[in-house]
Structure 1
Amino acid sequence: MSLNEQQLLELKPDHIVDAIGEVCPHTLNLALAGLKRAKSGEIVVEITDHSIATKTIPAAVKMNKYGEFLGVAKKGGNYHIFIKKA
């Protein structure tokens, strides 16, 4: 699935993970905890100000087959990382 930033921000996430002010690896741990709470097919969005998380979270999701990385949208200086749980 390939969505642009506007389409991502229009999605209605089932779970929102607030990771503002956190750094790796805690941003990754928070995202994985959010995915653990989610049911199959639900959308989890992590909101963070840590740019490295936009690389580590998608890589971990793909490598471990936790779900589908939908994309990253930047809004208000924060990154919104969208994942659909497998």
Structure 2
Amino acid sequence: MSYTQEDLSKLKKDHVIDAIGEVCPHTLDLALKGLKKAEPGEIVVEVTDHTIATKTIPAAVKMNKLAEFLGIIEEDGNYHIYLKKN
């Protein structure tokens, strides 16, 4: 399913991870820890200002089949990366 930014903004955020100021690989580590705490079907959102994380996190969760990457909202120089735990 393809989500618009409006769709994403309406989703219930079960877990929000603050990764502002962090860089890879720490941004990925934080996302993985957040997914471990989440139950299947829950939405995990990582907020980061690190552009590279917008590529590494979706690729890693897809490759490892940990979560479905739903999309990204860019707001005020930050990226909100939406993941749905498998």
TM score, norm. by length of structure 2: 0.97
For residues 2-44 of structure 1, give each alpha carbon's deviation from its aligned partner in whole angstroms, at most 9, with x where no partner exists.
Answer: 1111221221110000000000000000000000000000000
| Aligned positions of 1:39-54 closer than 5 A | 39-54=39-54
> What stretches of structure 2 of length at least 5 have no aligned partner?
none
**Matches of 1:5 and 1:51 in 2, distance apart?**
18
Between the two proteins, what is the percent identity of the paired residues?
69
Alignment of 1:1-86 (within 5 A): 1-86=1-86
Residue 74 of structure 1, CA deviation: 0.5
Q: What stretches of structure 1 move > 4 A for 4+ residues in a row?
A: none
TM-score by length of structure 1 reads 0.97
* Corresponding pairs, count: 86
3-state DSSP of counterpart to 2:21: coil
